[in-house]
Amino acid sequence: MPDLCGRSLSLWDCAELRKQLITDGIVTTNSAETIRRILNHHKLKPWRVHFWLGDQTPRDEHFRQQIAEICELYTRELPPDEMVWCFDEKTSLQPRIRLQATLPAQPGKSVLVEHEYQRSGALNLFASFNTRTGRVFGRCYQRKRTVEFIDFMDQMDQTIPPEIKQVHIILDNLRTHKTKTVQEWLVKHPRFHFHFTPVHCSWMNQVEQWFGILQRKRFRITDFVSLEDLKRKIMGFIDAYNHQAHSFKWTTKSVEKIMLVVEKHLQKAA
């Protein structure tokens, strides 16, 4: 790591490694491309990062069961009266009102976005992703509490046809998803069944993949004239997406790979 060499850098890149080698007197001259070839030969990429979890994170039999349950919901054939949805919130979406209008691309020029902007509050997008059709159900709220969560679930319940008898919801362990009020709502709506992802397993929630699409296609530039404009354009994006929606394919082969990693964790913890 650069800090061990007295360099205030987060990670090495080839140019910085070249400077360090010359400073340390290991070489008198070199090129960044030569450094890259040497690193490639040793299969080293010190500029890449992979996050991992320490031993304190539960990876036990309960964890295995949770993963298996969600994978089974993603891959098995569903009868006509059953649905599987993935739910999450995308928070703190700001309009960032620009002081000058954004200018479209011109010959030889990129899109021009004013650097300065004004803050005007934020919205939270609540969204559910249908794992078989790819369609998205979304609503925007100014706050993210149990009351908003239940309102969202009420609207989902009204939208889903009554002939659907089983509605499975994959969601995370946020406290507002598990309150007494939510438990009472589930009792009154017996066709809904919540399935919580394990801690630090947001990648198991398919709506996160859709949030990635939303971020790339709608929020690469945050330039909205108001909160209402932001809300309108979010909903417009969802409507347009739903006209060409597609599911994210999880296969039994995908599940086998995931469960193999899970089993390795269990063996390590034993």
Query: Does residue 80 surpass a pLDDT of 60?
Result: yes
- C-alpha–C-alpha distance, residues 116 and 119, integer Å: 10
Predicted confidence (pLDDT) at residue 189 exceeds the cutoff of 70: yes
Please give the full DSSP string across 217-270, using - where no structure is assigned. HHSSS---SSHHHHHHHHHHHHHHHHTT-------HHHHHHHHHHHHHHHHHH-
Strand, coil or helix: 180: helix
Q: Tell me, what's the pLDDT at 172?
A: 95
Q: Is residue 270 pLDDT above 70, yes or no? A: no
**Confidence (pTM):** 0.77
**17-21, 41-45, 88-92, 262-266: least confidently modelled range:** 262-266
**Residues 198-244: pLDDT tens digits?**
887 888 899 999 999 999 999 988 888 899 999 999 999 999 999 99
Q: Which domains does the chain have, with CATH numbers?
A: 2-41 (no CATH), 61-265 (3.30.420.10)
Supply the pLDDT for residue 227.
93
43-59: pLDDT as tens digits: 999 888 765 555 556 66
- pLDDT of residue 110 exceeding 60, the answer is yes
HEC assignment per residue over 89-158: EEEEECCCEECCCCECCECCECCECCCCEECCCCEEEEEEEECCCCCEEEEEECCCCHHHHHHHHHHHHH
Residue 209 confidence (pLDDT): 94
- Least confident residue range of 10-19, 135-144, 260-269: 260-269
Tell me what the pLDDT averaged over the chain comes to: 88
